[in-house]
Chains A and B, each alone.
Chain A
Amino acid sequence: MPRTLFDKLWDSHCITTGQSGESLLYIDRVCLHERTGGIALKSLEERNIPVRRPEQAFCMMDHVLDTHPGRGDRTAIPGGEAFILRAREGAAASGIRTFDVGDADQGISHVVSAEQGIALPGLSLVCPDSHTCTLGALGTLALGIGTSEAEHALATSTLWMARPPGVRVVVDGRLRPDATPKDLALYLIAEHGADGAAGAAVEFSGAGVEALGIEARMTLCNMAVEFAAVTALIAPDAKVFDYVADRAYAPAKLPLKEWMALHTDAGAHFDRTINIDATRIDARVTWGTSPEQGVNVTGRIPAPRNGTARRALDYIGLAPGTAMPEVAIDAAFIGSCTNARLSDLRSAAAILRNRRVAPGVAAICVPASAAVKRAAEAEGLDRIFRAAGFEWRESGCSLCFHAGGESFGPGKRVITTTNRNFEGRQGPHVRSHLASPAVVAASAVRGRISTPGML
Chain B
Amino acid sequence: MQPFRCHRGIAAPLLQANIDTDAIIPSREMRQVSRKGLSSGLFSNWRYTDAAARHPDPLFVLNRPAYANATILLCGSNFGCGSSREFAVWALAEFGIRVIVAPSFGAIFQKNCIANGVLSAIVPDAAVKELARWVEDDPPSRLLTVDLATGLIGSGLGETPFEIAEADRARLLRGVDPVTHTLTHADAIRAFEKQRFEKHPWARVSLAADGKIRTG
What total count of A-B pairs have CB within 8 Å?
196
Of the candidates B27, B84, B109, the one whose C-beta lies within 8 Å of that of A129 is: B84
Which listed residue, B23, B32, B189, B196, touches A156 by the CB 8 Å rule? Answer: B189
Complex formed: what's the CA distance from A380 to B149 in Å? 64
How many residues of B sit at the interface, in one of the four size bands? 35 or more
Q: Which of B59-67, B75-83, B150-158 contacts A (4 or more CB under 8 A)?
A: B75-83
Interface string of A128-163 (1 = CB under 8 A from B): 111000000000000011111101100111101010
Give the residue name and chain of the B residue nearest to A311 (CB). B16
> In the bound complex, what is the Cα–Cα distance between A297 and B28 (angstroms)?
31
Rounded to whole angstroms, the CA-CA distance of A221 and B113 in the bound complex is 25
Report the separation of the CA atoms of residues A16 and B179 in the bound assembly, to the nearest whole angstrom. Answer: 16
A307-321 CB mask vs B (1 if < 8 Å, else 0) is 110010000000000
In the complex, are the beta carbons of B202 and A254 less than 8 A apart?
A: yes
Q: Is B58 an interface residue (CB 8 A)?
A: no
Give A residues with C-beta under 8 Å from B: 15-16, 18, 20-22, 24, 26, 28-29, 35-36, 38-39, 42-43, 47, 49, 55-56, 77-79, 82-83, 86, 117, 120, 122-123, 128-130, 144-149, 151-152, 155-158, 160, 162, 164, 194-195, 198-199, 225, 228, 230, 248-255, 258, 290, 292, 306-308, 311, 401-404, 420, 422-425, 428
Contact of B78 with A228 in the complex, beta carbons under 8 Å: yes
Q: Which residues from chain B contact A129 at a C-beta distance below 8 Å?
A: 83-84
Are B196 and A128 within 8 A (Cβ)? Answer: no
Q: Is the interface of A mostly helix, strand, loop or mixed?
A: loop
Task: Name the distance in Å between A153's Cβ and chain B's nearest Cβ.
Answer: 10
Our pick among A43, A123, A422 for the contact of B20 (Cβ within 8 Å) is: A422
Cβ 8 A contact of A15, one of B82, B107, B185, B215: B185
Complex interface bits, B180-208 against A, C-beta within 8 A gives 1, otherwise 0: 00110110110011001000111111110
Query: In angstroms, how far is the closest chain A Cβ from the Cβ of B187?
Result: 11
Say which residue of A160, A253, A307, A401 sits within 8 Å of B216 (CB atoms).
A253
Which of A21, A145, A252 meets B84, CB within 8 Å? Answer: A145
Are A146's CB and B112's CB within 8 A? yes
Q: A401: which B residues are within 8 A, CB to CB?
A: 22, 27, 83
User: Contact mask B94-114 → A, CB, 8 Å, 1/0?
Assistant: 000000000010111101100
Residues of B within 8 A of A39 (CB): 33-35
Cα–Cα, bound, A43→B179 (Å): 12
Q: How far is the CB of A159 from chain B (nearest CB, A)?
A: 9
Nearest 9 Cβ contacts at the A-B interface? A404-B28, A251-B216, A20-B167, A148-B115, A251-B202, A403-B27, A146-B112, A146-B86, A195-B78
Return chain A residues, CB-CB under 8 Å to B186.
156
New A-B pairs, 10, CB < 8 Å, besides A253-B216, A401-B83: A24-B188, A29-B205, A35-B30, A38-B33, A47-B179, A117-B215, A120-B202, A148-B178, A290-B18, A292-B18
Binary interface encoding of chain B residues 38-79 relative to chain A, with 1 for a CB under 8 A from any of its CBs, else 0:
000000010000010000000000000000000000001110
A258 to chain B minimum Cβ distance, whole angstroms, is: 7
Contact A20 B170, beta carbon cutoff 8 Å: yes
A160 to B189, CA, bound (A): 12
The CA of A159 and the CA of B85, in the complex, are separated in Å by 17
Known: A199-B107, A253-B216. A21 touches B166 (CB 8 A): yes
Contact B32 A195 (CB under 8 A): no
Specify which chain B residues have a CB less than 8 angstroms from the CB of A420 in the assembled complex. 20, 22, 82-83
CB closest residue in chain A, given B183: A156
Q: Is the CB of A145 within 8 A of B17?
A: no
Taking a contact as CB atoms under 8 Å apart, the answer to whether B203 and A147 are in contact is no
